[in-house]
Chain A
């Protein structure tokens, strides 16, 4: 059992996470011509590995299911961007000379655990995937003046994003398209052009996260979500008016730890026999080893697993509170862009995680011989290290692909 649970808890780091707001593209933060821009983005990923709390890559589901299964996600984003100056010609200081912008981002997505991982999720009477509407992001901001120093041109911007938690959210799901908590994200960014052919966009942002009183997947999404700060930078090279290539770097890290206060995740079918627990735990892959010894503790021990047929028992997790060590992720991105006429940009990009740290907590399970299992009648406790799931907790170690189309309505 102990080990049991851990594993199942994979998660989707990518999908509808606030981080998508902070992956800069070519001229993302430049003072673009006024107008209304429409952007369609398709993101796909097959998460076969995630980062644990030590920063090591873990194959999804290992060692409890064979490697090869994954969390699949498809995210379809629509972004509308307005750039202009509401206050032009007025006498309002600063505003009259600095353009403003607002952006709305909506999404629909598909997130699904595959194969044996999905089967394991079901052992906990949880749903292995989620589909539908994602959260809504709204942001507004203002550009700085443009600075020129020889071949260098630069501008900054100040913006604030609000994530409205309107996305589909199911407390019984291991994955959700919505997050069920608010985020407010102040952001500073800059855009720079060098020699007319190198474009640099960068940003730092601080994501203030609200609480989630209704955690999903048996409480393995945090209830107290740590704030996150983001840093991103993107370098693009202009080959011609029509072709660009870019390389980007992204870093995000939580400030402090995520808190888990409502852990309830447990096997649906109880009582459990030691044999079934051992099998469920390692799926016959690792019958021995440190994991069992460390995670199972004295009650469900290696000896117990090696001598099946003992009494059956019940498990019940203690709700918490638990704290993880925070999360962190580093991404490298690279892509190419094609400008069609003067109105449309098509971009293909791949993002590759190069480091990270995911959320894990040591959940205490009471072990009882009675169904109404709890601290009062527990014969012992075991500690199981569980992965936190979904965007606030899990950090993908697998690449994602992005296809993006931007259209400026008024251009010919």
Chain B
């Protein structure tokens, strides 16, 4: 060792300029390269690398957030199982799932059945949020189903989904807001903040506050997400998480079971297996992936040819149009799930909203959720409308939106995903918490089935508004008009 050091010293003495020159060159080169790739590469005429490993004929949908085609991967070839879509977490992209894609292939999953697309900004400086990204998930699922239906010549009406971290609450919000439970055969929720995460804070500021508003423990957003049951619909649910409070730093004690869902197959993997996988490792380790695969394979493959079951209402009675199918119903705020009693027909109770979906265990197919109400009171004459007490505009901080129907006997459903509501959309039971920019669409449904015209309200919880309202001049001269044009800046 001594001789090596001595030799090194001699060489250095002879060529003393080399380390300084080489080191400086390295630092300068790296420093230049550290300029955000979105600036540097375009500046020299290069396009930043993007993961885009899709089969011929598939055009990835545009991200709702960025307006750019979503990056990601998907396969081609024969498809003999329900397609599996991976949904990544906050600030990362589909590349997160590349190791999972490789592993699932080794376990017999078809290339054509493994998909992941990147929603959000794919940029650590901009947090994604569930509400902002729900439209993107809607596009991802629909585009994959349409593409595979076309490629295979048979309709693909169900997918499996594995979500990670923000991807968990995002997928749950998407299923709820778009009434899409029937499209998801199995959902694996890995490391999701279903009961909040300690890093999120209701008092967060800055442009990344949206996700913090959503995922703060005890937040109104989570309360809404979990209202009506944590595992609705015919969807099978599995959760995979740490459980020790030490492996995944996002879920320390006493929030070590925040990821669990009531009614799901909950697998606190580290706790049960004595492992120490962290937040990013948990869904990507061979043994955890094998556990997920085993659970996925327990589900029968749905029929590719059978018709979807449908609920039939005759008067105050509900039934199903297929003899093998049955009803799963719940009343009030509760959404039905697989644990609800299975009935062939149901008599609606007076004054109570009843929510049902039909499921055919032979075909594995389900109907969308629908809500009904039995009308025993006379309805007010006139046009059925729904209104809001909160104007559609920008607000500085999250608000709660109160909805009222012109007919007291009517119930109200709404969406925050920008999609038109249907009777299976979230049931309005309490003011809607709006924590970010979204389109709230509400509709009143009378017991007799009449529906109001949708009430469309565009809200924004805007930093631009804060900046405009709290500009230096306005704080010194409160009478000055706010310089606010209603637009959001990029990345917020």
Interface positions of A (Cβ within 8 A of B): 33-36, 82, 84, 86-90, 100, 102, 104, 138-140, 148, 150-153, 160-162, 164, 182, 184-185, 195-197, 208, 210-211, 227, 240-241, 255-256, 341-342, 409-412
Contacts and interface: CB of A to CB of B under 8 A. Distances in A.
Given A90-B49, A148-B276, A160-B26, A184 B19 contact: yes
A33 B24 contact: no
B43 interface: no
Contacts of A211: 16
A183 to B, nearest CB: 8
19 contacts: A86-B37, A89-B48, A90-B49, A139-B27, A140-B30, A151-B276, A153-B278, A160-B23, A161-B27, A162-B24, A162-B26, A184-B19, A184-B20, A210-B19, A241-B252, A255-B5, A410-B125, A412-B199, A412-B204
Contact of B276 (A104, A195, A208, A411): A195
Contact of B246 (A90, A164, A196): A196
Contacts of A150: 275-276
Nearest to B285: A148
Nearest to A240: B252
Contacts of A412: 127, 199-201, 204-206, 208-209, 211-212
A142 to B, nearest CB: 9
B281 interface: yes
Contact of A138 (B31, B206, B275, B278): B31
**Chain B binding site: helix, strand, loop or mixed by DSSP?**
loop
Given A33-B91, A162-B26, A184-B22, 6 more contacts: A36-B125, A150-B276, A152-B276, A160-B26, A182-B20, A342-B199
A88 B91 CA distance: 14
A89 B16 contact: no
B360 to A, nearest CB: 42
Given A34-B124, A140-B26, A412-B201, A89 B209 contact: no
B125 A409 contact: yes
B75 interface: no
Given A34-B124, A410-B127, A104 B9 contact: no
A89 B204 CA distance: 32
Contacts of B127: 410, 412
A195 B247 CA distance: 7
Contact of A33 (B30, B124, B204): B124
B31 A102 contact: yes
Contacts of A208: 12, 19
B126 interface: yes
B30, B49, B211, B281: which has the most chain A beta carbons within 10 Å? Answer: B30
B173 interface: no
Interface residues of B, number: 49
Given A89-B95, A410-B127, A102 B5 contact: no
A160 B246 contact: no
A373 B16 CA distance: 35
Closest 6 CB pairs of A and B: A196-B246, A140-B30, A184-B23, A342-B199, A412-B204, A89-B49
Contacts of A104: 31
A208 B21 CA distance: 12
A370 B71 CA distance: 84
Contacts of B124: 33-35, 84, 410
A210 B276 contact: no
Contacts of A342: 198-199, 201
Interface in B18-40: 19-20, 22-24, 26-28, 30-31, 33-34, 37
Contact of A227 (B12, B91, B246): B12
Nearest to B246: A196
A182 B25 CA distance: 13
A152 B277 CA distance: 10
B71 A162 contact: no
Contact of A89 (B31, B71, B246): B71
A366 B50 CA distance: 72
Contact of A88 (B20, B49, B246): B49
B236 to A, nearest CB: 29
